[in-house]
Structure 1
């Protein structure tokens, strides 16, 4: 594979609301990112394991169905895949934000898609954590 044919950076959207998941995915695709879409944290972990290190950014809702919420997912990603940037979103995060790992960015809902896209695109192109980038 030549440099020009290399795969685009991959973003992983973890959102149980199908409309929000699709909106985020469409916006990220417009900015030259491939996007995986999943509805819960357990599927996100599986997708990350299968992606062979190609995911550069995870965008996750705090409130997800299943055993893990978005904060637990962010903590797992920061330990298992420290090179992946994590953006967490929620309209009602409760007290969970204090449990976010260092370097994770919180973007409140309703979010402006451009905020998510800007953070994800910069992280993917610069190869460093979103937390170091101004939103």
Structure 2
């Protein structure tokens, strides 16, 4: 039997390897395709190379360099139909930390909460891409081409 069609493509940005592994396992078990990045710079390289990322799921604190809030704004500017979900166990967003449409999920989160937030964000991104085809870094027909599973 073949694997079911993925619910969406998630770029998971987390500097803590164990947290990244657990979150990736939860999302893959829920039938998402997951691409992992250890920091914001790696995430931006992935975004420039991949077409059809539905959701960037990022931690706030990612030393060194750009934090999750900065990454969220960069994603919002350059890939406007990509969903953004920011997580943290220590730092909650203040006014203007997150771009419009981005969501915040406090750690620790349950697997059900993670999957629910990811599904909502992926569906919203897929709908936006279908309505606005041809955005930079996105497929001209609005469809997300296959992305190899890296996690």
TM-score band by shorter chain is 0.7 to 0.9
Instruction: Note closer, same or farther for the CA distance 1:120–1:83 as it changes in structure 2 (3 Å cut).
Output: same
Do residues 56 (structure 1) and 54 (structure 2) align? Answer: yes
Query: Deviations for 1:77-109, whole angstroms, at most 9, x for unmatched residues?
Result: 111001111110011116x53311111111111
TM-score (normalizing by structure 2):
0.74
- CA positional deviation for 1:50: 0.6
Do residues 97 (structure 1) and 109 (structure 2) align? Answer: no
Q: Which has the larger radius of gyration?
A: 2
Q: Which runs of 5+ in 2 are unaligned?
A: 129-151
DSSP 3-state at the match of 1:24? helix
Aligned residues: 124
Query: Higher helix fraction: Structure 1 or Structure 2?
Result: 1
Structure 1 ranges of 4+ moved more than 6 A = none
- CA positional deviation for 1:122: 3.0
Contact 1:57 1:85 in 2 (8 A): yes
Question: Per chain length, whose mean CA-contact separation is higher, i.e. which structure has more relative contact order (CA < 8 Å, sep 6+)?
Answer: 2
TM-score (normalizing by structure 1):
0.82
Q: Which runs of 5+ in 1 are unaligned?
A: 130-135
Separation in structure 1 between the aligned mates of residue 86 and residue 127 of structure 2, nearest angstrom? 17
